[in-house]
Amino acid sequence: MAAELWRRCSSCKGAIGFGERHWICNVSTCNRPRTGLVFCSVSCWEAHVPVMRHRESWALERSAPTPEEWARAESASTPAASRPAAAPVAPTAPRSSAEARTSSALPVAPPAPAPGGEAPREILIVASKLKSYVRTCSGMNTSDSVLDVLSDSVRALCDDAIRSARRDGRKTVLERDFSRRR
């Protein structure tokens, strides 16, 4: 029996053999590698819908792989045990308030770009909200080129706030990291 078993139904735990018909959910969160829900019947699929709170979903009929296809797919994926482990991180001692005060005089590196390269140069301002605000306050129109200038200003403010959070030894940018200009 174990040689013929591909997976077990995610609902009733019934056996789904190699090459047998089964159903999956069309919702992507049910089909992720770690979730991977499979159902032996449509009624088993229907049982999971209220639990997962899907708004709109349906069952998709599929055929289980053959033992050869399954073996090929398993050998192609690398098991977690063979992946290199992450380097251990040395614990840091808690900082005293005196140490935090003296460290603020030290130079702080500029914010590091996003992993994988440069920070994205997207528009950070909601155009419709900005234009509505300007029109309501002044009756004036707003040029689209204003969005680039304001986005650059917001980036500069964020960079300063990131430096402030790093100076304080935090990994969270807080409201107090944005200095108010009067």
Percent of the chain with pLDDT over 90: 31
Give the model confidence (pLDDT) of 60-101 as tens digits: 999 999 999 888 888 877 555 454 444 444 444 444 444 444
Whether 181 has a pLDDT exceeding 70, the answer reads: no
Q: What is the pTM of this model?
A: 0.41
Give the pLDDT of residue 15.
Answer: 92
Instruction: Sketch the domain layout of the chain as residue ranges.
Output: 5-77, 105-177
For tokens 């680039």, name the residue. 148
Q: How many CB atoms lie within 10 A of CB 116?
A: 5
10-37 mean pLDDT: 89
174: left (phi over 0), alpha (psi -120 to 50) or beta: beta
What DSSP string runs through 49-94? HHHHT-SS--EEEEEPPPHHHHHHHHHHSPPGGGSPPPPPPPPPPP
Tell me how far apart the alpha carbons of residues 134 and 66 are, in angstroms, rounded to a whole number. Answer: 64
Where residue 166 falls among pLDDT bands split at 50, 70, 90?
very high
Residue 92 CA: distances (Å) to CA of 87, 89, 130, 169, 180: 15, 9, 43, 11, 32
Q: Is a pLDDT exceeding 90 seen at residue 172?
A: yes
